[in-house]
Amino acid sequence: MLAVGCAIAANAQPPAAALSPDNPFFQPSTLPYQFPPFDKIKDADFRPAFEAGMAEQRKEVDAIARDFAPATFANTIVALERSGRLLARVLKTFYNLNASNTNDEMQKVQVEMAPKLAAHQDAIALDPALFARIDALYRQRDGLGLDAEPAQLLERYYQQFVRAGARLSESDKAALKQLNVTASSLTTHFEQNLLKNAKNGAVVIDNVADLEGLPAEQVGAAAEAAKARGLSGKWVISLQNTTIQPALEQMKSRALRERVYRASVARGVGGDADNIALIAQIVSLRAKQAALLGYPNYAAYSLEDEAARTPGAVNQMLAELGRAALIKARSEAAEIQNLIDDQAKAAQSKPFKLQPWDWAFYAQQVRKARYDFDDAQVKPYFELNHVLKDGVFFAAQELYGVTFKERTDLPRYRPELRVFEAFDEGGSSLGLLVRDDFARDNKNGGAWMDSFVDQAGLFDQKPVIINNLNLAKPAEGQPVLLTFDEVTTMFHEFGHGLHGLFSHVKYPMLAGTNVPPDFVEYPSQFNEMWAREPEIVARFAKNYQTGEPMPKALLDKVIAAQLYGEGYATTEYLEAATIDQSWHQIPVSRAPSAAGVIAFEESALRKAGMSYAPVPPRYHSPYFAHAFSGGYAAAYYAYIWSEVLARDTGRWFHTHGGISRANGDYFRAKVLSRGRTMEPGVLFEQFYGQAPSVEPLLEYRGLGGTPPSRR
């Protein structure tokens, strides 16, 4: 659907009252890089700023749509790009804060504004006068003499309007508007339920002895989480977005492991934050939206604008990779079951069948036996600040010449926030990077990148990027020690950050990470490779107490061990991607009722040959944020599609000498700085020199076998 930040027709709603000059959104921030004035922003400021922003944009776009002068690129397309700047400021700040630091009042604003913004969004796409101007320009595009970037901007506007319903009859437009408004309210409700369920589903432990196996800093973090809830003397295991919770890896109590697992998979099913009925309604609405627009299902609609293009291409890739992943996962399961049986025999106890809540715990033991280490040995070498400065930032400096300097003079919405200014070689500034690293009850789970300000040459605007993690905050005075998976996540999100910081584009619609989901994950997944590159790891893997580097033998084991467990990791991901595709490949006639939601998910996995009890999907539908509230509907496959590009790029780097400024600068020039100034497939092939190949991905994940074809 059309991005809210584009433009909107003037007659959608009655004008709102003018915004008070005292409102912090009244004018652009005067802080460096237009950094939001968090110290001045109050919850009460958002509602009037939203209303004023929509009214202002309606007035601006009305002038464009009703201009008597013939349409030109400047008076129509560029004018649309210039519209809505007040609304953009409010949207960027509100939705970032609502994701990272929400409260009851902000959630009320979100519920109220979601349908209004959806109507605001539709009024642009469905205004016939506005589309007539864009259509006229598009028809004469070959004679306009446009360079590549403005030609791409015209193409994107035209396609977005058509895909949003600009060619529909007036009655169908009215029906689509209502569907869009309803869908926005439902997805907002789903998102808010996720936050409630994460908080309500957290597991409270009365006896610290039950936490045997967890390292001291995790026990301390559990105590801090309990204290924050007013439960002093208890311990709380908070739930992350995923099905399998990190604590299961080291928790010795099988009963507590099962309890944590069952709390995780129960989220969104029943209670006052039930998502089952919402899923049925969202799926049905999306199928109706697609049908109105002339598509057989929502996936066909969504994928047409992605690199993948068709559901068939995605289905084939998931099936082919799924076969290789399941073979590996079953092999891993057999090895784990043997360990369980051997331990039961040695203890003269009754053996048990491997269950989902057992896998991480025993896989860690298999990994330790095979590679002679565990996370408890490794974590002292992965202290957060060392990883950030001597790993993440160091790799960026070696590849791109970029450096980072921490700033403490800018206001923050949380005291633990950190802000860094990015500089190119030679000292020219690039923008700001904000880091919000710690989990809390009023923050969405998972890890993500976003922006408070997008790069745009049209406005001489530099980016303000944010990386969000959900690390457990330790007790006062304790270090923040990471698992290697968390280290990899830091590199991943920073890859998104570089994509935003390096953007060198004129028009906002084409800037930074404004690319399809199956391309936006490409730079981030590529950047993960430096987390296991020996020369980079050697820089940041140092004992937080002594400063001694991680012994080479242990470092070699850490790197080698990354291949272990890829059968499980790939299978759980592909199961979730299959669920997402299955929901969105439903035509209107097959959309299930709420009573059929749970059964549909299991049926979809069985039909795809991806149902394997010891390995549950990374997300079950009731807490699948990507699919039902996070903007990845029919696009969760994007991570692995992008990873094919990422691993091809990794092979390219190694073939051309590895880490070097020449290689980094070339990748930056061809991909990281380009946004969507060309279509993603073209950008990739101009960098890589040929079509993508799946072999490097299979090698990187240790899946082996005959490489599947890539279409």
Q: How far apart are CA 379 and CA 98, in angstroms?
A: 32
Q: How far apart are CA 642 and CA 587, in angstroms?
A: 27
Cα–Cα nearest to 319, from 640, 591, 566, 692: 640
Unique residue bearing structure tokens 């028809």: 139
Helix (H, G, I), strand (E, B) or coil at 204: strand
Cβ proximity of 121 and 115 under 8 Å: no
> Consecutive 10-residue runs of the chain (711 residues): their mean pLDDT?
32 58 97 98 98 96 97 98 98 98 97 96 94 98 97 98 97 96 96 93 96 93 93 94 95 98 97 96 97 97 93 94 94 97 96 97 92 88 97 98 98 97 96 97 94 98 98 91 95 98 98 96 97 92 95 88 92 98 96 94 97 98 96 95 96 96 98 97 95 89 56 27
Q: Tell me the CA distances in angstroms from 354 to 134, 267, 336, 337, 429, one per residue in order.
A: 60, 23, 8, 6, 54
Helix (H, G, I), strand (E, B) or coil at 472: coil
Q: How far apart are CA 139 and CA 365, in angstroms?
A: 64
Residue 17 confidence (pLDDT):
55
Task: Classify residue 588 by its DSSP letter.
Answer: G
Q: How far apart are CA 314 and CA 293, in angstroms?
A: 21
Beta bridge partners of 418: 435
Task: Classify residue 585 by its DSSP letter.
Answer: T
Q: How far apart are CA 359 and CA 354, in angstroms?
A: 7
The sign of the dihedral angle between the CA atoms of 204, 618, 484, 448 is negative
Which residues neighbour 246 within 8 Å (Cβ) at sequence distance 6 or greater?
240, 483
Q: How far apart are CA 14 and CA 567, in angstroms?
A: 56
Q: Supply 221's token pair.
A: 């973090």
Helix (H, G, I), strand (E, B) or coil at 301: helix
Q: What string of H, E and C letters represents the secondary structure of 133-176?
A: HHHHHHHCHHHCCCCHHHHHHHHHHHHHHHHCCCCCCHHHHHHH
Q: How far apart are CA 501 and CA 507, in angstroms?
A: 15
Q: How many other C-beta atoms are found inside a 10 Å radius of the C-beta of residue 376?
A: 15
Q: How far apart are CA 609 and CA 603, in angstroms?
A: 10
Q: What values do phi and psi take at 322, rounded to 5? A: -60, -40
Q: What string of H, E and C letters represents the secondary structure of 248-263?
A: HHCCCCHHHHHHHHHH
Domains of the chain, first to last? 1-167 (1.10.1370.40), 201-267 (no CATH), 379-561 (1.10.1370.40)
Q: How far apart are CA 55 and CA 113, in angstroms?
A: 13
Full-model pTM = 0.87
Q: How many other C-beta atoms are found inside a 10 Å radius of the C-beta of residue 47?
A: 17
Cβ proximity of 290 and 634 under 8 Å: no
Packing angle, helices 85-100 and 104-125, rounded to 10: 140
Q: How far is CA 577 from the centre of its chain?
A: 14
Beta bridge partners of 406: 420
Q: How far apart are CA 265 and CA 260, in angstroms?
A: 9
Q: How far apart are CA 290 and CA 583, in angstroms?
A: 13
The residues that are catalytic are: 493
Which residues neighbour 342 within 8 Å (Cβ) at sequence distance 6 or greater?
none
- Give the 3-state secondary structure percentages of the chain, helix then strand then coil, rounded to 5: 60, 5, 35
Cβ proximity of 452 and 434 under 8 Å: yes
Which residues neighbour 540 within 8 Å (Cβ) at sequence distance 6 or greater?
382, 386, 387, 389, 390, 391, 392, 394
Q: Is 679 left (phi over 0), alpha (psi -120 to 50) or beta?
A: beta
Residue 374 confidence (pLDDT):
82
Question: What's the distance, Cα to Cα, between the start and end of the chain in Å?
Answer: 25
